[in-house]
Amino acid sequence: MGNELKSRVKQRNMLTLAYLGDSVFTLMVREALVKKYDTKPNSLNKRANEIVCAKAQAKFMEMIKPELNTDELDIVMRTRNAHLNSRAKNSTLTEYSLATQFEALIGYLYLIDDNDRILEIFNKYVAVEL
């Protein structure tokens, strides 16, 4: 991962990174559920919604924060300072902010093509919840 690529990605709007990260994370959760369970889509969707929600993502963010490197912490801190125009239903403002930070981190890692790091985070913190 070149520093030039990281620099360009860091210049993006943090909420745009969160938008992408939400999609990447949702796909990862759905793929893992389909691989783990042979059940009806309605059941899979219910379980996916329990993982891909602000409350769960906030929990993941709090767990991984101590392990983040400088670049990752920079993304998290910049996202924390971003102006959030909305809030997810059934979550507090703090949970929503942490969830947005988590999504931005995933979006950042995806754009710099650090799939190994995404998988490391996913397997260590998320897969155990499935």
Quick one: the chain helix, strand, coil %, rounded to 5? 80, 0, 20
Residue 110 structure tokens: 């995806």
Q: Which amino acid is at 25?
A: F
Q: Which residue has the tokens 């799939």?
A: 115
DSSP H or E segment with residue 48? helix 41-51
Q: Which residue bears the tokens 């360009």?
A: 8
d(CA 44, CA 66): 31
Query: What is the rounded distance in angstroms from the CA atom of residue 20 to the CA atom of residue 40?
Result: 27
Catalytic residues: 22
